[in-house]
Amino acid sequence: MENQATPVELLLDRAKSYAETRFDLLKLKTIDKSSSFLSLIIAMLVIILIGFIALMLLSVGIALLLGYWLGGSFYGFFIMAGLYLITGLILYSNREKLLKSPFANAMIKNLME
Protein backbone atom coordinates (compact mmCIF):
# COMPACT_ATOMS: atom_id res chain seq x y z
CA MET A 1 0.00 0.00 0.00
CA GLU A 2 1.34 3.39 -0.92
CA ASN A 3 1.77 6.22 1.54
CA GLN A 4 -0.05 9.18 0.13
CA ALA A 5 0.53 12.53 1.74
CA THR A 6 -2.47 14.16 3.26
CA PRO A 7 -3.39 17.70 2.28
CA VAL A 8 -2.13 18.94 5.66
CA GLU A 9 1.28 17.32 5.12
CA LEU A 10 1.48 18.82 1.62
CA LEU A 11 0.59 22.21 3.02
CA LEU A 12 3.24 21.91 5.75
CA ASP A 13 5.89 20.84 3.21
CA ARG A 14 5.05 23.76 0.95
CA ALA A 15 5.07 26.19 3.89
CA LYS A 16 8.46 24.87 4.97
CA SER A 17 9.79 25.22 1.42
CA TYR A 18 8.35 28.74 1.19
CA ALA A 19 9.96 29.76 4.51
CA GLU A 20 13.35 28.38 3.42
CA THR A 21 13.10 30.23 0.10
CA ARG A 22 12.17 33.50 1.84
CA PHE A 23 15.07 33.09 4.25
CA ASP A 24 17.48 32.47 1.36
CA LEU A 25 16.11 35.53 -0.43
CA LEU A 26 16.60 37.64 2.71
CA LYS A 27 20.21 36.44 3.01
CA LEU A 28 20.89 37.29 -0.64
CA LYS A 29 19.32 40.74 -0.30
CA THR A 30 21.39 41.40 2.82
CA ILE A 31 24.58 40.35 1.04
CA ASP A 32 23.69 42.57 -1.93
CA LYS A 33 23.05 45.62 0.27
CA SER A 34 26.19 45.00 2.34
CA SER A 35 28.42 44.65 -0.70
CA SER A 36 26.89 47.72 -2.33
CA PHE A 37 27.37 49.74 0.85
CA LEU A 38 30.95 48.54 1.29
CA SER A 39 31.83 49.35 -2.31
CA LEU A 40 30.40 52.85 -1.83
CA ILE A 41 32.52 53.37 1.28
CA ILE A 42 35.69 52.11 -0.46
CA ALA A 43 35.05 54.32 -3.50
CA MET A 44 34.50 57.34 -1.27
CA LEU A 45 37.72 56.63 0.64
CA VAL A 46 39.73 56.35 -2.59
CA ILE A 47 38.28 59.63 -3.89
CA ILE A 48 38.96 61.35 -0.57
CA LEU A 49 42.55 60.05 -0.55
CA ILE A 50 43.22 61.25 -4.10
CA GLY A 51 41.62 64.61 -3.30
CA PHE A 52 43.71 64.93 -0.15
CA ILE A 53 46.95 64.26 -2.03
CA ALA A 54 46.01 66.76 -4.75
CA LEU A 55 45.06 69.38 -2.15
CA MET A 56 48.33 68.94 -0.27
CA LEU A 57 50.42 69.30 -3.43
CA LEU A 58 48.43 72.34 -4.49
CA SER A 59 48.82 73.83 -1.00
CA VAL A 60 52.59 73.37 -1.03
CA GLY A 61 52.76 74.97 -4.48
CA ILE A 62 50.66 77.96 -3.41
CA ALA A 63 52.64 78.32 -0.17
CA LEU A 64 55.92 78.36 -2.08
CA LEU A 65 54.52 80.89 -4.59
CA LEU A 66 53.26 83.16 -1.80
CA GLY A 67 56.58 82.81 -0.04
CA TYR A 68 58.41 83.76 -3.23
CA TRP A 69 56.23 86.85 -3.64
CA LEU A 70 56.61 87.86 0.02
CA GLY A 71 60.33 87.23 0.22
CA GLY A 72 60.36 84.21 2.55
CA SER A 73 58.94 80.75 1.99
CA PHE A 74 57.77 80.47 5.60
CA TYR A 75 55.33 83.37 5.05
CA GLY A 76 53.48 81.37 2.43
CA PHE A 77 53.24 78.35 4.71
CA PHE A 78 51.94 80.50 7.57
CA ILE A 79 49.29 82.01 5.30
CA MET A 80 48.19 78.58 4.03
CA ALA A 81 48.07 77.24 7.60
CA GLY A 82 45.90 80.20 8.60
CA LEU A 83 43.54 79.56 5.68
CA TYR A 84 43.24 75.90 6.66
CA LEU A 85 42.65 76.86 10.28
CA ILE A 86 39.83 79.24 9.31
CA THR A 87 38.34 76.61 6.97
CA GLY A 88 38.54 74.00 9.72
CA LEU A 89 36.81 76.26 12.23
CA ILE A 90 34.01 77.01 9.75
CA LEU A 91 33.56 73.30 9.01
CA TYR A 92 33.63 72.44 12.71
CA SER A 93 31.02 75.05 13.60
CA ASN A 94 28.71 73.84 10.79
CA ARG A 95 29.64 70.15 10.90
CA GLU A 96 26.05 68.94 11.33
CA LYS A 97 24.73 70.71 8.25
CA LEU A 98 27.82 70.50 6.01
CA LEU A 99 29.32 67.12 6.87
CA LYS A 100 27.17 64.78 8.94
CA SER A 101 23.78 65.16 7.25
CA PRO A 102 24.93 64.79 3.60
CA PHE A 103 27.01 61.70 4.36
CA ALA A 104 24.27 60.13 6.48
CA ASN A 105 21.68 60.83 3.79
CA ALA A 106 23.90 59.30 1.08
CA MET A 107 24.43 56.15 3.14
CA ILE A 108 20.73 55.81 3.98
CA LYS A 109 19.77 56.37 0.34
CA ASN A 110 22.22 53.67 -0.73
CA LEU A 111 20.90 51.19 1.82
CA MET A 112 17.25 51.88 0.97
CA GLU A 113 17.62 51.35 -2.79
Exposure string of 58-81, with b = 16+ CB inside 10 Å and e = fewer, is ebeeebeebbeeeeeeeebbeebe
Domain boundaries defined on the chain: 32-112
- Asked whether 33 and 111 are in contact (CB, 8 A), the reply is yes
The helix, strand and coil proportions of the chain, stated in percent and rounded to the nearest 5, come to 90, 0, 10
Residue-wise pLDDT for 45-103, tens only, equals: 999 999 999 999 999 999 999 999 999 989 999 999 999 999 999 989 988 888 788 87
Residue-wise pLDDT for 22-47, tens only, equals: 999 999 988 888 888 888 889 989 99
Q: Collect all residues with Cβ–Cβ distance below 8 Å to 106 and sequence separation of at least 6.
A: 40
